[in-house]
Amino acid sequence: MKKRPDGRYQAKVTLPGGKVKFVYGRTIREVNEAKETLKMQYALGVIPDNKITVQEWAEKWWRTVKEGKTGNSSQEGYLLAMNKYIFPALGNMKLKDVRPIHVQNLINQMGEQGKSKSLQRQVLVALNGMFKYAVRNGLISGNPAQYTEYYEVPANERQALTPAQVAELLQACKGTRAELATHLALYCGLRRGEMVALKWSDLDENTRTIHVKKAVEFVNNQPKEKSPKSKAEERIIPIPPHLWDMLQSQPKKSMFVIPSDQGTQMTKTAVRRLLEPVQKKVSFYFTWHMLRHTYATALDKLGIPPKTCQYLLGHADISTTKNIYTHIQDEHIAQAARQIQNIYHLSKS
């Protein structure tokens, strides 16, 4: 220990691995306390290093606080937020240098790219978690993500395609690997996870219906089959005539209706890539969920009773569809099957 020209005391601390750090204090007691604090922080795995980057700290926070301690979907959400958004934008910055404007710029950039508010929230949840943990461990004095505002994105996910857009989309996907999946979303309202889980054995040739029994969630990009979250998600959906013919013409080399190249269930990346060539061809933005929403809107335009719409869409709560109650009648479901293709002006050719 030595006294510096500025009157403070300085001491050298050799840490595990041979790394040398210096601590300072106005008194010998302060320096000794700083030495013990530094050693304790290293023993606990906290690196009080002003050179630590956002990515280094985020990975430490993940391993210490989150990994294996939340559900599969939450785990995937955190990893997506970090790997796809946080690390590319902020990962190389020193943790101590991050300011609120850096976080706000990241969220604004996401919004300008059309990323939904829910995805922005996912990124902010991860940022708030890692920054709060850094504050508690004395690495930064405040949380730079605390007052970040969401970038308001037009509700594309809630928008339905127009008949003209549907026609353009169907033409663009004709003959591609996305054609069958696109028709299943537009004409049966299947969720992405339900399409991936769909098996040929779920189709009833006598009634020409789909029995939705399962869906998949993606864990580290891999499909994991799950039972419906609610009883409402398990349902029987009528298949319009043209789509039934399309299904019958498909080669059945796998038990899955929309399999991977290897005949297995598709990964999350594979499902995304299925749409990419079609998305580049059309003149508008769309997602899998927008196709399902287009189906829901078409049912409403056809005058299908809200309770029937609720059943066909697999909504657990009628308020998700409309807060109106009617009885589900077989003729209403049959009518939906006959009429759904007409709302898109689909020709029989």
Confidence at residue 321, expressed as pLDDT on a 0 to 100 scale: 47
Q: What is the DSSP string of 277-315?
A: HHHHHSSS---HHHHHHHHHHHHHHTT--HHHHHHHHT-
273 compared with 42, residue with greater pLDDT: 273
Average per-residue pLDDT for the chain:
83
Check pLDDT > 70 for residue 269.
yes
Check pLDDT > 80 for residue 330.
no
Mean of pLDDT values over 97-111: 91
Whether the Cβ atoms of residue 38 and residue 46 lie closer than 8 Å to each other: no
SS3 helix, strand, coil % of the chain, rounded to 5?
Answer: 50, 10, 35
Distance between CA atoms of residues 240 and 300, nearest Å: 17
List pLDDT tens digits, range 20-60: 777 777 888 888 887 887 777 776 655 555 789 999 999 99
Whether the Cβ atoms of residue 235 and residue 212 lie closer than 8 Å to each other: yes
| Residue 229 confidence class, pLDDT cut points 50, 70, 90 | low
Residue 115 tokens read as 């990323």
Query: CB neighbours of 56 closer than 8 A, spacing ≥ 6?
Result: 47, 95
Confidence at residue 76, expressed as pLDDT on a 0 to 100 scale: 82
Check pLDDT > 90 for residue 129.
yes
Confidence at residue 142, expressed as pLDDT on a 0 to 100 scale: 84
Distance between CA atoms of residues 56 and 60, nearest Å: 6
> Which of 167-176, 224-233, 277-286 is least confident?
224-233
pTM of the predicted model as reported, rounded to 2 decimal places:
0.52
| Residue 322 confidence class, pLDDT cut points 50, 70, 90 | very low
Confidence at residue 88, expressed as pLDDT on a 0 to 100 scale: 93
Check pLDDT > 60 for residue 223.
yes
Whether the Cβ atoms of residue 290 and residue 181 lie closer than 8 Å to each other: no
Beta strands 9-14; 2-3: pairing state: antiparallel
Looking at the DSSP assignment, which residues form a beta bridge with residue 25?
9
Confidence at residue 123, expressed as pLDDT on a 0 to 100 scale: 95
Q: Which CATH architecture has domain 54-136?
A: Orthogonal Bundle (1.10)
Nearest of 224, 232, 324 to residue 267 by alpha carbon: 224
Share of the chain above pLDDT 90, in %: 41
Mean of pLDDT values over 85-109: 93
| Residue 77 confidence class, pLDDT cut points 50, 70, 90 | confident
CATH homologous superfamily, domain 157-343: Intergrase catalytic core (1.10.443.10)
Nearest of 307, 293, 304 to residue 338 by alpha carbon: 304
Whether the Cβ atoms of residue 265 and residue 196 lie closer than 8 Å to each other: yes
Distance between CA atoms of residues 255 and 265, nearest Å: 9
Confidence at residue 44, expressed as pLDDT on a 0 to 100 scale: 62
Mean of pLDDT values over 335-339: 67
Check pLDDT > 70 for residue 327.
no
Domain boundary assignment for the chain: 2-43, 54-136, 157-343
